[in-house]
A and B are shown apart, each in its own frame.
Chain A
Amino acid sequence: MSELLSAWAATTPAFAAPFLLATIGLIINERAGVMNLGVEGIMAIAAVVAVIINLSGGDVALAIIGGVGAGVALTALFGFMAVVLRVEQVLAGLVTFALGIGVSGYLGDGFQNQPVAGISPLPAAWFARLPTFAAGILDQDFLTWFAFIAAVIVWFVLTRTGPGLRLRAVGEDAPAADAAGVPVMAYRMGAVLTGGVFCALAGCHLSLIGAHLWVDGMVAGRGWIAVAMVTLSRWSALRAIAAALLFGAVEALVPQLLSSGMNVPVYFIEMSPYLATLAYLLIAGLFQTGADARPADLTRPYLREERR
């Protein structure tokens, strides 16, 4: 039993990391008033480009840079549509999603199912002095570590620094922010692109760490889960850590239970993530934590000349 517990705890962070990366990316977007539903496509294109580079002889650093570059390029297209041209954000997001899935399938066609070196956990020796349980939890790969550290940094920047406060002002009341001298367009575009970096990193995590290969359609809805997790974490990067850990813990429990040979119905196990989400929503509802956290100007395009 204790073995199961420590294996469960040790695998949770890597399960949580891709969700966390994508969720904080989306929080940055939405805090500036832009909803990016293209995240699934951005993750896919980053995942496939990272694999292609890693397979073609590029090292992990180059693979991540390439994956992020491709993801940001697609995000820039979304930003151009949503921020500059003020296209309906939901539509622009869905187009980005479809484009990303299509292009990733096309690019990756000759690279499917070929193992990549990918990213391994940090050397176990670094954690050798710690108790086994703690060492198991802490011995993750660097991208997983980065996800948790970045979440704290993003929280700090968004809530405790000038640029962060201005970014949130743009998302809450763009005309007021504009009147106060904040360049709305620049902040929104900056937020979209920065968010795109995190979404792309989530895709790299899936292909370089999660699967160590690429196959068509392998993001498998994880981007959409991140979209929901933004609401679940009430647009707070700190709560996103909690939400991602909760979700990761439930997801990590499934394979442990399945492979333990315990006689638990498969359908109940498969249902568990949604039960956890429901429980989280219930608790959040009961205690009314941060009830109105949704940025007031979310999905609302801003045009200076337009009266509200």
Chain B
Amino acid sequence: MKLKNLAACASFLAICATGVAHAQVKLSGKPKIAFIFFGTTNDGGWADAQNAARLSLMKAYDQRIPFVENVPEVTEKVEQAIDLFINHGDNIIIAGSYGYSDAFTAEAKAHPNSAFINIAGISSAPNLESFYAKTYQGWYLAGMAAGYATKTKTLGMIEAFPIPNVLWDVNSFALGAEAANPGTVVKVAYINAWSDPVKEAQISAAMIGQGADVIATDMDTDAALLVAEKAGKYSVGYQVNMAKSVPNGILTSVIFHWGKKLVPMVKEMASGTWKSSGTPLYGMKSGVVVDAPFEHIPAADISKIEAVKAKMIAGTFSPWMGPIVDQSGKVEAATGTRISQDDLWNMDYLVANVKGSMK
């Protein structure tokens, strides 16, 4: 205990000596990475996409990267997992779960010479960054594709919970569809779980029964899309390219490439130049979020989508440029203004062409 205090004092003094509070993080040694997953690496979605980043890090840095699966969002359990890796000599801990935020704050404070990354977390520290993806960029373009494909002008979207970063997926999907095909409506339904394939399939069937001819899923599994494929409808996948399971109806998938950000980040960490950016959003420009190749719509429509994508990457277009009107008719962003990133994190409305409740 005394030794630990001494060490803490020493590192505190070291920080004082360099004279910067938000300094670059000095790792305890050569970078050694470890991953913590909320689900299993074969879940076909959230953890699967993060495991792909683990594999590309392994390739880039030629090291074995240990991982632990199925760690629940319970602070002590997460801390135990982190301590295990740190005691083992690992000094870069990467995870992806909102519910890990508190554990990561505590552990980042306890281990100043380790770097912590928590995808979709909300906490930050000098050596802890919680970043997320501008998923709305991918969903806007997917919405355009769905708008071009639909004949009934009715799209269905299946969601987990009505929380801000889910609502911005729904809203950008609806805005993209409206831009491509004015008058298109998006039906939205929540499963109230991160994964329940039986319910996802049932809701998908109900939406198709009520006229939807494109089903988009914001969930881990492709259960909802399988129903669409069977009924001869179009689908939009999420997190990984779902084209393999629904080859005849897939329009695109909104995919994460976390490795695009993590690989350069670890390079900075190794050279001692990495600084936490707090809780940033990374988008198409960095390649963290992309759309899988568009299929089953005319080439002319695809080039229109590509044009918008180019403007998005160049920064001259955002789905959040006004006018944006919500379901109740309230103007959320007037013409010429734009919804800020802070306001995105507080999003509590659905745009006018979304059908469905949000409370």
Chain A 184-216 residues near chain B, CB threshold 8 A? 206, 210-213, 215-216
Known: A110-B42, A215-B195. 4 other contacts (CB 8 A): A109-B40, A213-B221, A256-B210, A259-B209
Q: Are A265 and B44 in contact (CB under 8 A)?
A: no
Given A112-B43, A216-B39, A267-B359, verify A255-B223 contact (CB < 8 Å).
no
Name the distance in Å between A147's Cβ and chain B's nearest Cβ: 15
Digitize B199-226: 1 where CB-to-A-CB distance is under 8 Å, 0 elsewhere: 1111101110110100000001111001
Q: Are B40 and A206 in contact (CB under 8 A)?
A: no
Give the number of chain B interface residues (Cβ < 8 Å): 42
Question: What chain A residues lie within 8 Å of B42 (beta carbons)?
Answer: 109-110, 112-113
Q: Which stretch of B105-113, B128-136, B174-182, B184-192 is in the interface?
A: B184-192
Question: What chain A residues lie within 8 Å of B152 (beta carbons)?
Answer: none
Rounded to whole angstroms, the CA-CA distance of A173 and B192 in the bound complex is: 44
Question: What chain A residues lie within 8 Å of B39 (beta carbons)?
Answer: 216
Q: Which of A115, A220, A258 contacts B206 (CB 8 A)?
A: A258
Judged by a CB distance under 8 angstroms, whether A59 is at the interface is no
Give the number of chain A interface residues (Cβ < 8 Å): 37
Q: Are B206 and A266 in contact (CB under 8 A)?
A: no
Q: Are B44 and A112 in contact (CB under 8 A)?
A: yes
Most chain A C-beta atoms within 10 Å of own C-beta, residue among B197, B210, B220? B197
Q: Are A7 and B209 in contact (CB under 8 A)?
A: yes
Chain A 1-43 residues near chain B, CB threshold 8 A? 3-4, 7, 11, 15
Judged by a CB distance under 8 angstroms, whether B26 is at the interface is no
Name the distance in Å between B310's Cβ and chain A's nearest Cβ: 33
Judged by a CB distance under 8 angstroms, whether B357 is at the interface is yes
Q: Are A261 and B355 in contact (CB under 8 A)?
A: yes
Interface residues of chain B, those whose CB is within 8 Å of chain A, are 39-40, 42-45, 70, 156, 162, 185, 187, 189-190, 192-193, 195-203, 205-207, 209-210, 212, 220-223, 226-227, 245, 355-359
Given A109-B42, A115-B226, A213-B221, verify A218-B196 contact (CB < 8 Å).
yes
Rounded to whole angstroms, the CA-CA distance of A252 and B193 in the bound complex is: 17
Digitize A167-188: 1 where CB-to-B-CB distance is under 8 Å, 0 elsewhere: 0000000000000000000000
Most chain B C-beta atoms within 10 Å of own C-beta, residue among A211, A256, A262? A211
Q: Are B221 and A259 in contact (CB under 8 A)?
A: no
Q: Are B245 and A114 in contact (CB under 8 A)?
A: yes
Closest to B162 in A: A266
Given A114-B245, A213-B226, verify A255-B202 contact (CB < 8 Å).
yes
Question: What chain A residues lie within 8 Å of B222 (beta carbons)?
Answer: 113, 115, 213
Rounded to whole angstroms, the CA-CA distance of A233 and B210 in the bound complex is: 33
Name the distance in Å between A213's Cβ and chain B's nearest Cβ: 6
Given A258-B189, A266-B190, verify A210-B206 contact (CB < 8 Å).
no
Rounded to whole angstroms, the CA-CA distance of A112 and B41 in the bound complex is: 10
Judged by a CB distance under 8 angstroms, whether A285 is at the interface is no
Question: What chain B residues lie within 8 Å of A261 (beta carbons)?
Answer: 185, 187, 355-356
